[in-house]
């Protein structure tokens, strides 16, 4: 599936005119040959052996060196040494497979997951080693997960767990645009690309593990057949509209060019800012603890209470009901028989929400005197006087009281992380903008309103 084309604003380089000299032709051929060779090197991305430093070592010494480097967490160098060992040692096919697997492990530990996958594939293609089969499956899965390539992982797992020699599910054709085939792999790659785009602005504020977890959750939402079908239909509609717009030469339309230019400037500016934030914001557990200690007042839980209410029509009837309670009547029975609030009557008048000191009372509303009286009363007490609300006259029983308390760091760690991240974001953004203003010699002149011209009579 072809992705939507983006405009290329670069100016093509002018080609130098050929002089026809044999020497120049030879040089050009050499350059082209070198570029072709470089292309294949980049495609295969092999580990560069360190022959110069291990050529004097025996095979056993090279293995020992690779092991020692891995023990010192020098995984890149360990992978290089294993590759040198493979290149300079006469190994059986099975031993080659085992050594290639070691290269893959080192690359995985070095967080070079794409290269690790390539060596895992090379290992299992070199020879079938029963002891490695399960290990390779697990490490391939881990590497794809670390790369965030969940669509590729899905098809990988389908192939590895299939008990029948079935066609590759990724190659199943889901739609066609003329001669172009749109496969299931194309569709899932587009979905994953969409999710990546939506997550990009959050990269500066989330750890890699958090990003992967969020990506998994978002991909789960488009996992069903219906969700995929809806996405495919939407994609096809957008694709054919795009192609028709290109055919109509809309890319040359002045208005379109202007909008594209504005969008490009905005996207580049936002991307630069996100990269700066991601590179400069590094929040540790110690940072969070320090911020929490300095802002503990922001993480206090206020005094709370739970109440039951009996709603009466008039002040006199409310006072009479309070007197009945004081004379021994059961409050729950009084609520059931007399309350005008049907929503709470069947629940013994209980309001299923906390009353916060100094805040409006759930269900009842903003009655400051009543709020104050609630927190001055003892648990299980019925207030001695009724209070007027927008609904009528409130007879209130205080069920429980909970004093104010300091929330623990564990309770508010996510809130602390968000607050500290926002603070650091503002600092980094201000520093970046200021440094760029200095770099580009920005001078800002005050804008003043023009005095209004008096209207002549």
39 domain residue, yes or no = no
CATH code at 71?
Answer: 1.25.40.10
Does the residue 444 lie in any domain? no
The tens-digit pLDDT sequence of the chain (457 residues) is: 444 433 333 333 434 433 433 433 333 333 334 443 433 333 333 443 443 455 578 888 998 999 889 888 898 999 999 999 999 889 999 999 999 999 999 998 888 988 998 999 899 899 988 888 888 888 888 888 777 776 666 666 666 655 444 455 567 888 888 777 888 878 887 888 888 888 877 766 666 777 777 878 888 888 788 988 998 999 899 888 988 888 888 888 999 999 999 999 998 998 898 888 878 887 888 889 999 999 999 999 999 999 999 999 999 999 999 999 999 999 999 999 999 999 899 899 999 999 999 999 999 999 999 999 999 999 999 999 999 999 999 999 999 999 999 999 999 988 998 899 889 889 999 999 999 999 999 999 988 887 777 666 6
Q: Same structural domain for residues 58 and 156? A: yes
**CATH number of domain containing 391:** 3.10.50.40
Residue 24 lies in a domain: no
Give the separation between CA 419 and CA 346, rounded to whole angstroms.
42
Looking at residue 71, its pLDDT comes to 84
174 assigned to some structural domain: no
Is residue 189 assigned to a domain? yes
Domain containing residue 222 = 181-248
Same domain? For 304 and 402 the reply is yes
Do the beta carbons of residue 300 and residue 406 sit within 8 Å?
A: yes
pLDDT for res 154: 62
Q: What is the DSSP letter of 441?
A: T
Cα dihedral 299, 303, 308, 310 sign: negative
Contact 115, 155 (CB under 8 A): no
Phi/psi-derived region of residue 249, left when phi > 0, alpha when psi is between -120 and 50, beta in every other case: left
Other beta carbons less than 10 A from residue 104's beta carbon = 28
- Check residue 7 and give its pLDDT: 34
Q: Is residue 2 part of a domain?
A: no
Residue 52 is predicted with a pLDDT of 46
154/59 same-domain check: yes
Q: Are residues 190 and 143 in the same domain?
A: no
Is residue 342 one of the residues assigned to a domain?
yes
Q: Are 325 and 401 in the same domain?
A: yes
DSSP E strands in 187-301: the ranges are 300-301
Where is 105: in which H helix or E strand?
A: helix 93-109
Cβ atoms within 10 A of the Cβ of 149, count?
A: 17
What letter does residue 163 receive in the DSSP assignment? S
Instruction: Give, in order, the Cα–Cα distances in Å from 105 to each of 35, 366, 384.
Output: 31, 64, 75
In a domain, 439, yes or no: no
């Amino acid at each position: 599936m072809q992705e939507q084309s983006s405009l290329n604003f670069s100016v093509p380089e002018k080609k130098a005119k050929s002089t026809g000299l044999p020497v120049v032709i030879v040089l050009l051929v050499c350059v082209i040959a070198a570029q072709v060779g470089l292309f294949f090197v980049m495609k295969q991305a092999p580990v560069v052996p360190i022959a110069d430093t291990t050529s004097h070592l025996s095979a056993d010494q090279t293995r020992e060196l690779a092991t020692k480097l891995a023990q010192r967490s020098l995984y890149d160098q360990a992978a290089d040494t294993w590759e040198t060992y493979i290149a300079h040692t006469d190994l059986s096919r099975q031993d080659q497979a085992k050594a290639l697997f070691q290269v893959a492990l080192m690359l995985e530990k070095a967080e070079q997951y794409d290269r690790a996958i390539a060596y895992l594939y090379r290992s299992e293609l070199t020879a079938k080693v029963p002891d490695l089969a399960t290990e390779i499956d697990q490490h391939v899965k881990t590497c794809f997960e670390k790369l965030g390539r969940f669509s590729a992982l899905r098809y990988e797992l389908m192939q590895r767990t299939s008990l029948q020699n079935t066609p590759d599910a990724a190659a199943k054709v889901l739609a066609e645009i003329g001669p172009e085939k749109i496969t299931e792999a194309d569709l899932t790659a587009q979905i994953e690309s969409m999710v990546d785009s939506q997550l990009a602005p959050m990269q500066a504020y989330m750890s890699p593990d958090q990003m992967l977890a969020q990506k998994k959750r978002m991909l789960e939402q488009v996992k069903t057949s219906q969700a995929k079908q809806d996405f495919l239909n939407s994609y096809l509609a957008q694709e054919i509209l795009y192609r028709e717009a290109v055919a109509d030469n809309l890319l040359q339309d002045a208005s379109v060019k202007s909008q594209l230019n504005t969008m490009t400037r905005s996207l580049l500016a936002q991307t630069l800012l996100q990269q700066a934030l991601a590179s400069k914001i590094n929040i540790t557990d110690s940072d969070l603890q320090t911020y929490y200690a300095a802002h503990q007042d922001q993480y206090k839980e206020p005094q709370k209470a739970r109440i039951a209410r009996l709603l009466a029509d008039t002040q006199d009837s409310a006072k009479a009901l309070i007197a009945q309670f004081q004379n021994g009547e059961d409050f729950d029975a009084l609520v059931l028989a007399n309350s005008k609030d049907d929503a709470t009557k069947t629940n013994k008048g209980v309001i299923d929400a906390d009353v916060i000191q100094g805040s409006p009372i759930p269900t009842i509303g903003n009655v400051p005197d009543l709020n104050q009286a609630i927190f001055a009363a003892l648990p299980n007490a019925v207030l001695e006087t009724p209070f007027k609300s927008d609904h009528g006259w409130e007879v209130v029983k205080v069920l429980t009281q909970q004093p104010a308390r300091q929330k623990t760091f564990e309770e508010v760690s996510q809130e602390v992380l968000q607050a500290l991240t926002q603070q650091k974001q503002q600092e980094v953004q201000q520093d970046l903008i200021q440094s760029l203003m200095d770099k580009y010699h920005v001078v800002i002149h005050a804008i003043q309103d023009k005095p209004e011209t008096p209207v002549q009579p």
